A = this chain, B = another copy of it.
Amino acid sequence: MTQVQTRRERQREATYDEITRVSRELLAEGAELSLRAVAGRMGMTPPALYRYVSSYQELVDLVAFEIDKAATETFAAAADRLPADDHAGRLVASVTEFRMWALGNPREFTLAFANPIADVRCMRREMLTISNSGHLMTGQMRALWEHNHHPIPRLEDLPPAVRESVTDPLIPAKVDDLALEDRGLVWLFQQGWTTLYGVVALEVFGHMDPRIIESGEMFVHVVREFAPKIGLAEDIDRLEAMIRERIARR
């Protein structure tokens, strides 16, 4: 079943890999992401790239997806430095790593997480649905809940739109095998993602006092505020220490 790939298909996939690799190189070097620059570095002429992407926007989407994927690996690695049963620590480690990554790679963050989705009907939506970072964090929040069974909102108490959203999710979440009555957890995740996103985006864009960005106090505050909602009230001081240690490492 492995070698159904023809030679051409393999070559094509290799080219796609090179496209995303080169694109990320350019971004990392502080250069602009452009079709011409990517083609040039690949030893191609610009029109050749159109055999792989149908427009510049599609290149951006492709790269954004790969950035999310690659970044998620570092988020996961941060968690894996902790014991497998320290679910709270693992979640906090990933979330903190997300913040540090975003601050250290603002262009990549903007591309993958602050790119307006023009039309709801484009492939972006589908890609979002299988977002890697989303899967990682929902998974970690779920693992934590299955361990400590903190209270979650009941489905009946949720507003109709929210209930629909959690029973039939479109946004990244690996919850197909999560019992329907436990879907309140997804609402909790969405809340957490919203606050996390707020502080990180504000920091990345610099629309916040530089001294607060530098110290990470708003990030710490946001995590502390959210912790009780997922049953981490007791553990919070240890978790804060973890966060501060990571921030100090810059």
Contact = CB atoms under 8 A, between A and B. Distances in A.
A237 interface: no
A128 interface: yes
A161 B197 contact: no
A218 interface: yes
Contacts of A215: 159-162
A223 to B, nearest CB: 12
A204 B116 CA distance: 7
A116 B205 contact: yes
Interface string A176-218: 0000000000000011011111110110111111111011011
Interface residues of A, number: 45
A206 B159 contact: no
A117 B207 contact: yes
A34 interface: no
Interface stretch (A76-84, A106-114, A138-146): A106-114
Contacts of A196: 198
Cβ-closest 9 pairs across A and B: A198-B198, A161-B215, A117-B206, A165-B209, A171-B209, A161-B211, A159-B217, A194-B198, A162-B217
